Structure 1
Amino acid sequence: MKRMIVLVVLFVLSAWAGAQTVAEHLAAGDAAYERYDNAGALKHYQAAWKVDSTNCDALWKIARSHIDIGELADEKTQKVNYYQGEKFARAAVRHCPNSADAHLMLAVSVGRVALMVGGKKKVELSKEVKAEAEKALELDPNKDIAHHVLARWHREVTHLSGFLKTFAKILYGGLPPASDEKAVAHFTKALQIKPDYINHHLEMGITYEAMKQWEAARAEYRKVAELPIGAFNDQQHKNEAAERLAKILDKK
């Protein structure tokens, strides 16, 4: 009996220590993420996942890290990371169906994968991107990135080639209605939630450019130049905004 009690105590202490280890690794990963060390963040999140493979935060943060690493990588590395991001995001949704972050990371990762494929697969994935972003907003209306994803979805679908639109109509009865105006509406909501997020302004500018609203586009690109860097990829966003602004300075 005494031996049984000792074993139970050891089991409880072991479980408690494991939970602490998960929390510590997640905290270390978050600290690395805040200083834009995506590779370091990934290592800590993976360590947390190895302790508890069903931990919601570990799963969706691993997905986020893979997406972030892939964004600035070469094509081969990017592909590997985007697919890994999708894999862990799907696991996050499977284990944590009520997590807005899990659904958001699935929307983002599937969207990144969609950029690398064409034809039928792109159309299939686009529907999932929209559904997952909408689910994230249903669970948490303050997810600015979910609005960003939906804005991008509207713009991309609006400017999809006629061939792919016909393809989608034949196979799936068409895609949901999309427009640049709805893209602007979602970017506006994203900016209401997070007004200093550089990529919201950049993509809003790109959308206005697609609509030939040159002055509005220039205003967004100039805003990008004014804002301080707040994310690991913001310098790239600033560079792109400057290049785009130079090309449309005289547009009327």
Structure 2
Amino acid sequence: MRRAFLFSTLVAASGLFFVAKGRASEASEELIRKGDVYYARLEPSEALKYYLPAEKLDPNNPQLLVRIARQYRHLMSETAAKEQKKQLCTTAVGYAQRAVAIAPNDPDTQLAVAISYGKLLPLVGTGDQIADSRLIKSAVDKTLALDANNDLAWQILGRWYLALADVSGVKRALAQIAYGKLPPARYEDAVRCFEKAIELNPNRLMHHIELGRTYMQMGRTTEARKCLAKGLSLPNTEKDDPETKDLGRELLGKLH
């Protein structure tokens, strides 16, 4: 009799647990839907008002963690203070790392790691830049292995090649002494990646401007001018598109 009572109690408790879990999941999904409205409006602070409470209800939801990482990266464009940018980006990196730990075979989580570390790169010292660049390459390679048609992954890979191609022989030698050999990279590799990104998504202006920047570094001014002008002609759709256009205008000004 006692065993029967204990068994029925456990069954009841288990039922309550799954009911509570189900309700938490439903509440989290509703919060995410509301946050997505503000994400679409490029309002990261408002989106986080819904995403962060949703995280408390569903802390192991990798897509939610990817969304949160993205919002913290978007907040970077709303401040000019380097330390604040670094703090926001470090938070984004943390959420991206949590997401990829839960779902390593999801291209969105791998891409979140690559983008977040890429945003952090100019805000840290040389040693961290070299270490982080290896993490970026690893994450973006995994992203493309999972989704070869991800235009943002090709964009990140192009930037990776461009950054390394810009490193002079002297700097490479010094970096090798302190941090180990840097991987080889050519401007042509960056061009290939940006062209692939444009093929996949011709309406994302950053692809054209980064390709223009690469051509400029190669001394191919006619192609550079054409790509920069194309990027500047496209409408803003991303949070940091205004900053990207500022870069495009600056580069185009140097070509005249």
TM-score, structure 1 normalization: 0.91
Aligned pairs for 1:143-154 (under 5 A) are 143-154=150-161
Deviates more, 1:238-247 or 1:178-187: 238-247
Check conservation: 1:127, 1:175, Cα contact below 8 A.
no
Deviates more, 1:128-137 or 1:18-27: 18-27
2:226 aligned partner: 219
Aligned pairs for 1:1-252 (under 5 A) are 6-73=12-79, 74-170=81-177, 173-249=180-256
Provide the C-alpha distance between the structure 2 equivalents of 1:9 and 1:97, rounded to a whole number of angstroms: 31
Which residue type is aligned with residue 237 of structure 1? T
Deviation at 1:56, TM superposition (A): 0.4
Q: Aligned pair count? A: 249
Deviation at 1:7, TM superposition (A): 3.5
Deviation at 1:172, TM superposition (A): 5.8
Deviation at 1:110, TM superposition (A): 1.4
Deviation at 1:86, TM superposition (A): 0.9
Which residue type is aligned with residue 28 of structure 1? K
Check conservation: 1:104, 1:146, Cα contact below 8 A.
yes
Which residue type is aligned with residue 33 of structure 1? Y
Provide the C-alpha distance between the structure 1 equivalents of 2:169 and 2:124, rounded to a whole number of angstroms: 17
Deviation at 1:161, TM superposition (A): 4.2
Check conservation: 1:154, 1:179, Cα contact below 8 A.
yes
Seq. identity, %: 31
Deviation at 1:177, TM superposition (A): 1.7
Deviates more, 1:146-155 or 1:111-120: 111-120
Q: Structure 2 stretches of 5 or more lacking a match?
A: none
Deviates more, 1:229-238 or 1:95-104: 229-238
What SS does structure 2 have at the residue aligned with 1:77? helix
Deviation at 1:123, TM superposition (A): 1.2
Check conservation: 2:65, 2:96, Cα contact below 8 A.
yes
Check conservation: 2:144, 2:150, Cα contact below 8 A.
yes
Provide the C-alpha distance between the structure 2 equivalents of 1:129 and 1:72, rounded to a whole number of angstroms: 24
User: C-alpha deviations, 1:149-172, integer Å up to 9, x for none?
Assistant: 110010101112445422443456
User: C-alpha deviations, 1:204-248, integer Å up to 9, x for none?
Assistant: 111111111111111112112321221222233223322322321
Provide the C-alpha distance between the structure 2 equivalents of 1:171 and 1:195, rounded to a whole number of angstroms: 40
Deviation at 1:129, TM superposition (A): 0.9
Deviates more, 1:122-131 or 1:165-174: 165-174
Q: Structure 1 stretches of 5 or more lacking a match?
A: none
Provide the C-alpha distance between the structure 2 equivalents of 1:244 and 1:121, rounded to a whole number of angstroms: 27
What SS does structure 1 have at the residue aligned with 2:236? coil
